[in-house]
Amino acid sequence: MVERRKSFRKSAVTSIAAAALCALAGTALAANNSYTFAGLKWGSSPEAASQALKSKGFTLGPTVTGPQRELVESGAWGEFRNVDRGKRLLATGTVAGQKADVQLIFGTSNRLDRIIVSLPDWNGTVGHAEQLTRAASTLTSQLEKQYGATTEKRDFFGWPDTARWQPASDGSRMEMLIRGTHGMMFYPGDKTGVRLNLWNDSFGGGSQPAFGTRPQTVDVSTPTEKPVYKSLSLQ
């Protein structure tokens, strides 16, 4: 365990340094630029979007409608809810070195207006917590390098649990979130998720709960168990 913590400390510090360099070197989005994932174009039809995603090496799953499971912000924390956003195309692939689930959301307009990229839910171990926080750091650094520095970024024990970028000129938005339920991230017996959201309300969006907003804070009890994230502290 000691060697694992030393290894995580070294790699986490490297990720933080890389993110800092990317933020310094990053420039604001050029006019006409857009936040995108795997080269997908906002407003695409389900057929065009599925072919574009498949060409990037993702494995296509079914097209579904009705309520689907999402990690939703709830005050300072998060919760998993079943949310109905209309038609969704499901897919799987690899993002930041981790297996990821991708949802392309077409809403009622049948045009691509939202993308959700979710890493696997935390399985309760320190090792998996390290993998997820490292992936979040890597993903944030890659996005800063591509799109420029964030306008909102919160580091939590050396890894980002929140990263948001300014709106692009075409109306698209992007955020990366790590959220735990019932209190803090990476608590024993609790659930923690990592999610990248991209959306563009110019194409018939507006489904609720909205992305990029914070619902009113819910009451949460103070956890009494020792949080696993304490093992990940860089202090």
Q: From CA 15, how far away is CA 138, in angstroms rounded?
A: 6
Dump pLDDT digits (tens) for 121-150. Answer: 888 888 898 898 899 999 999 999 999 889
Higher pLDDT, 190 or 76: 190
Per-residue confidence (pLDDT) for residue 193, from 0 to 100: 85
Q: Considering the entire predicted model, what is its pTM?
A: 0.76
Dump pLDDT digits (tens) for 15-50. Answer: 333 333 333 233 344 434 899 999 999 999 999 999
Per-residue confidence (pLDDT) for residue 208, from 0 to 100: 57
Asked if residue 230 belongs to a domain, the reply is: no
Per-residue confidence (pLDDT) for residue 3, from 0 to 100: 44
pLDDT band at 222 (very low <50, low <70, confident <90, very high): very low
Per-residue confidence (pLDDT) for residue 213, from 0 to 100: 53
Dump pLDDT digits (tens) for 11-23. Answer: 443 433 333 333 3
Per-residue confidence (pLDDT) for residue 190, from 0 to 100: 77
Asked if residue 94 belongs to a domain, the reply is: yes
The residue segments making up the domain with residue 186 are: 2-219
173 touches 165 (CB < 8 A): yes
Per-residue confidence (pLDDT) for residue 85, from 0 to 100: 87
pLDDT band at 220 (very low <50, low <70, confident <90, very high): very low
Asked if residue 233 belongs to a domain, the reply is: no
Q: Please state, rounded to an integer, the average pLDDT across all residues of the chain.
A: 76
Asked if residue 199 belongs to a domain, the reply is: yes
Asked if residue 202 belongs to a domain, the reply is: yes
Based on the structure, what is the number of domains in the chain?
A: 1
pLDDT band at 5 (very low <50, low <70, confident <90, very high): very low
Asked if residue 197 belongs to a domain, the reply is: yes
Asked if residue 228 belongs to a domain, the reply is: no
What secondary structure does DSSP assign to 68-80, as a single string? Answer: EEEEEEETTEEEE
**CB atoms near residue 12 (< 10 Å):** 20
DSSP letter, residue 188: T
Asked if residue 138 belongs to a domain, the reply is: yes
Sheet (strand 192-200) strand order: 59-64, 87-95, 98-107, 114-118, 192-200, 172-180, 159-164, 152-156
